[in-house]
Amino acid sequence: MYKQLSYQLLRLFIVILLCTVIFLVFHYTAKFIYPLIIAIMLSLGMHPAVTFLQNRFKFPRIAATLTVIVAAFFTFISFIFFIVNEIINGVISIADKIPGYFAKGTQILDHLTNNYLLPFYQKLASLIHTLDEEQQITIKEKVTDFANNMAIAAAEFLQQLLLSIPAFVSTLPNSVTIIIFIVLASFIITNDWDLLNTKMKSLLPARINSSGQRIMIQLKKATAGYIKAQVTLIFITFIVILIGLIVLQVDHPLTIAFLAACVDLLPYVGTGILFIPWILYLYMTGNFPLTIGLIVIYMIIVILRQILEPKVLASSIGLHPLAALIILFVGVQMLGMLGFLIAPVLLILVNAFYKAEIPQKIWQFIVKG
């Protein structure tokens, strides 16, 4: 009995050690191998389309790969062009209204200065004059220190901003190199997919190959489900905003709804990056009906997103809503904004490993060997 328990503990130690080694290797090599990981993921997505062209239309493998890559490139460029065109149209429309916005802003500033700031300053000055000389000197010193600290902070911020410009420019050549590497690696991997797949299978034991195939099948399903879920959520956001803006008779509702749906993917901020400044401006300018209308739209979007995201993700990926919610929450709490980005990947991986029965097999290995 003790001998069996010893072997079980040994196998448990081996599993923990192996998981630790995999985690450490990935942690310290991720910044070097992430372009290759991206290339493999792109190849994984392009492989079905390339195989379809090869089998259905008798394309040579290399021609099918080039066709899919070029089609994906032009689709991406067309999408970017559409976004830029919509932004330009929106900017042109806003540019026509800027003089009116500045005039309105000047009126608001004058109103705040004359009715709030100047009376407050006069009242504060009169209170300071009622104090004794030592207290007045102390207050003046504190104000001077505050002003100096603000000036130093502003100078440091400006300095860091200026220093970041050369750093950003210096990263551009490296970014171009990485993009070229990803494209070339994607082409090579996709073109030689069958050869690389056969070579990989020959290097690994049959048990690992079987588990790996099940994981890949589940990863494909989960990734497709996640993309479907995000498209569904973005479409819901787009429709809600579009209908709301049309009801409120806002100019360019289609452009605004499209941009809001795109920024809805941003962690934490989401549509708030567009709606909150807009709502504040309308409130300051006294346009209360439109302010209330936008607040209602924004609240509906936030509530719908919070309610639907775990459920849509769970149903699309095939995971229980509670498990999806826990993974999203833990990812955000542990890693902050980065966790918000990593949580969906963890969601897909956890689901794929669970569906491929990897935890059960690991437990079986620990218990029975």
H-state helical runs in the chain: 2-56, 61-112, 118-129, 133-191, 193-203, 206-247, 253-263, 272-284, 288-317, 321-335, 337-355, 358-368
**Predicted local distance difference test score (pLDDT) of residue 67:** 93
- Largest separation between any pair of C-alpha atoms in the chain: 95
User: What's the pLDDT at 307?
Assistant: 82
Nearest-angstrom CA–CA distance, 265 and 273: 11
pLDDT of the residue at 319:
65
Rg (CA), the chain: 29
What pLDDT score does 270 carry? 77
Condensed to tens digits (0 to 9), the pLDDT of residues 43-64 reads 888 888 999 999 988 889 999 9
pLDDT of residue 187: 92
What distance in Å separates the CA atoms of residue 6 and residue 180, rounded to the nearest whole number?
A: 52
| Residue environment code for 135-146, b if the CB has 16+ CB neighbours within 10 A, otherwise e | eeeeeeeeeeee
**How far are the Cα atoms of 14, 211, 356, 358 from residue 365, in angstroms, in the given order?**
10, 13, 15, 10
- Which sequence spans correspond to the domains of the chain? 34-203
Mean pLDDT by 10 residues, the chain (369 residues): 75 87 83 84 86 90 92 86 73 67 71 76 74 75 79 77 67 76 91 87 78 79 78 90 92 83 74 86 82 92 82 69 70 64 72 80 79
DSSP codes of every residue in 44-91: HHHHHHHHHHHHHS---HHHHHHHHHHHHHHHHHHHHHHHHHHHHHHH
Q: Is the dihedral of CA 205, 206, 212, 213 positive or negative?
A: positive
C-alpha to C-alpha distance for 366 and 364, rounded to whole angstroms: 5
Q: What is the pLDDT, as a whole number, of residue 90?
A: 66
Q: Which pairs from 246-253 meet CB under 8 Å and 24+ separation?
A: 247/293, 248/290, 248/293, 248/294, 248/297, 250/290, 251/93, 252/89, 252/90, 252/93
318: left (phi over 0), alpha (psi -120 to 50) or beta: left
Matching residue, tokens 């452009």: 255
- Using CB atoms within 10 A of its CB, is residue 80 exposed (0-12), middle (13-18) or buried (19+)? exposed
C-alpha distances in Å from residue 174, one per residue of 10, 35, 169, 179, 181: 46, 12, 10, 9, 10
Q: What is the pTM of this model?
A: 0.66
CA–CA dist 261, 259 (Å, integer) = 5
Distance between CA atoms of residues 227 and 230, nearest Å = 5
